[in-house]
Amino acid sequence: MFLPRLTDCAIIILTSIAITRSEDQSEYDPCCSFPCQNFGICNRIGFTQRYHCDCYGTGFYGDNCETATWRKWIYETLRPSPFTVQYLTTHFKLFWKVVNNVSFLHEWVMRVILKIRVTTPPWPEAHNTAADYTTFHGYHNKSYYSLTLPAVPKNCPTPMGVAGPAKLPDIEELVEKVFRRTQFKPCPRGTAFITPTYGQHFTHQGFKTVMSDRRTTWGTQTVDLSHVYGKTESDERALRLLKGGKMKMQIINGEEYPPHEDHCPGIKMNYPPIVRKEFRFALGHPFFAMLPALLYWSTFWLREHNRVADIMAEEHPHWDDERIFQTTKLIILGETMKVTVETYVQHVSGMHLQLTYQPELLHDSSHPWSSNRIHVEFNTIYHWHSMVPDYLHIGDKNYTLNETYFNMKPLLDHGMKTFTESASNQLAGRGAGGRNMAPALLNVARDALRWNRQVRLQSFNRYRQYARMSPYKSFEELTGESKLARVLSDLYGGDIDAVELYVGMLVEQRYRSKMFGITLIEVIASYSLRSVYANAIGSPQYWRESTFGGEVGFDIVKSATMEGIACRVIKGCPKLRFQIPEKITEARDRMQYDDIDDGAGTSSPQRDEL
Just list the catalytic residues.
204, 382
- Looking at residue 301, its amino acid is W
Instruction: Answer for the pair 121, 148: CB distance below 8 angstroms, yes or no.
Output: yes
Q: How far apart are CA 361 and CA 67, in angstroms?
A: 34
Question: C-alpha distances in angstroms, 537 versus 124, 153, 531, 560?
Answer: 19, 38, 12, 15
- The sign of the dihedral angle between the CA atoms of 265, 267, 270, 271 is negative
Q: How far apart are CA 100 and CA 88, in angstroms?
A: 14
- The sign of the dihedral angle between the CA atoms of 319, 320, 326, 328 is positive
Q: How far apart are CA 175 and CA 439, in angstroms?
A: 10
Instruction: Answer for the pair 461, 504: CB distance below 8 angstroms, yes or no.
Output: yes
Which backbone phi and psi does 520 adopt, to 5 degrees? -60, -45
Secondary structure percentages of the chain, helix, strand, coil, to 5: 50, 10, 45
CA atoms within 13 A on the CB side of 341: 26
Instruction: Answer for the pair 549, 331: CB distance below 8 angstroms, yes or no.
Output: yes
- The sign of the dihedral angle between the CA atoms of 582, 586, 589, 593 is negative
Q: How far apart are CA 362 and CA 371, in angstroms?
A: 15
Three state DSSP letters for 232-301: CHHHHHHHECCCCCCECCEEECCEEECCEHHHCCCCCCCCCCCCCHHHCECCCCHHHHCCHHHHHHHHHH
- Looking at residue 307, its amino acid is R
- The sign of the dihedral angle between the CA atoms of 82, 95, 103, 512 is positive
